[in-house]
Amino acid sequence: MLVILGLLTSLLSFLYFRAPSIRKFFAGGVCRSNVQLPGKVVVITGANTGIGKETARELARRGARVYIACRDVLKGESAASEIRADTKNSQVLVRKLDLSDTKSIRGFAEGFLAEEKQLHILINNAGVMMCPYSKTADGFETHLGVNHLGHFLLTHLLLERLKESTPSRVVNLSSVLHHAGKIRFHDLQGEKRYSRGLAYCHSKLANVLFTRELAKRLQGTGVTTYAVHPGVVSSELVRHSFLLCLLWRIFSPFVKSAREGAQTSLHCALAEGLEPLSGKYFSDCKKAWVSPKARDNETAERLWNVSCELLGIQWE
């Protein structure tokens, strides 16, 4: 036992001693685009904290008019104030958006469309992870409702404005954990069997499938779309899991910062010449391997149709 403890202590000491070089290895890709965004309009969901906040900061630094769309308006205003001071860009605005409530989503879209005549970049960044079983205001399982259906509806409501502002882009944050996901059409709401870990994976697979189908339907419109794995990032996303919070704290020297996690979102929002890769999945600022389940066109189309039915919308 003493030998094992000694080996573990030595291993941990070595890891922490080598932390800077290990972190550099895991930091991943960096957005190299020099594109500036004066006159451009951006909407980012969940940009009051974490990856979304750092994405908003960089886009504001490039001159964009940035809308922070979030549930907690006070946190959003605090983030916006910080970003405005840091970037000297006064056009960082906060609007209420609760992705767990379709009335809130419709209210946000209605207000935005009345306020803005253009939308160049939509980043569907917000999400929940490892939630105990619960349902949204509309009766959807929370991971499905917030991570997939909420952004599906938001994109639908803003799509005409994106088409009027081409070239424009939609960036959907997914995760490498989509590989463990499955679209369980017989139990989408998790009422028969529920695992909060797998529920997150299922919703992230839905994000990739949505991106794939959206790209197919948007061919020739000037609107392109991309799915993104940000990496293993230190953020509030794991707040519902004590174990993950503990692991993130222990291994914090080795995981990405929010700024590093934002790089692939920024790459897909800004990089020139990315249009032929619409519908693809990116990690570390480059096209990445995607689960075979995420390449299933039949599943993608069926999920699209079921999502429309659940939301009561028609989307050709």
**Residue 69: which of 50, 51, 93 has the closest Cα?**
93
Coil, strand or helix at 103: helix
**Alpha-carbon distance 143 to 212, whole Å?**
20
Q: At what angle do helices 102-115 and 151-163 cross, to 10 degrees?
A: 20
User: What DSSP element (H or E) covers 74?
Assistant: helix 73-87
Tell me the residue type at 134: S
Residues with catalytic function? 200
Phi, psi (5° rounding) for residue 255?
-90, 165
The per-type count for the chain, helices as H runs and strands as E runs, is 12, 8
Cβ 58 vs Cβ 69: under 8 Å: no
Q: What amino acid occupies position 17?
A: F
- Indicate if the alpha-carbon torsion angle 68, 32, 279, 228 is positive or negative: negative
Token pair belonging to 152: 């599906």
| CA distance linking residue 308 with residue 316, whole number of Å | 10
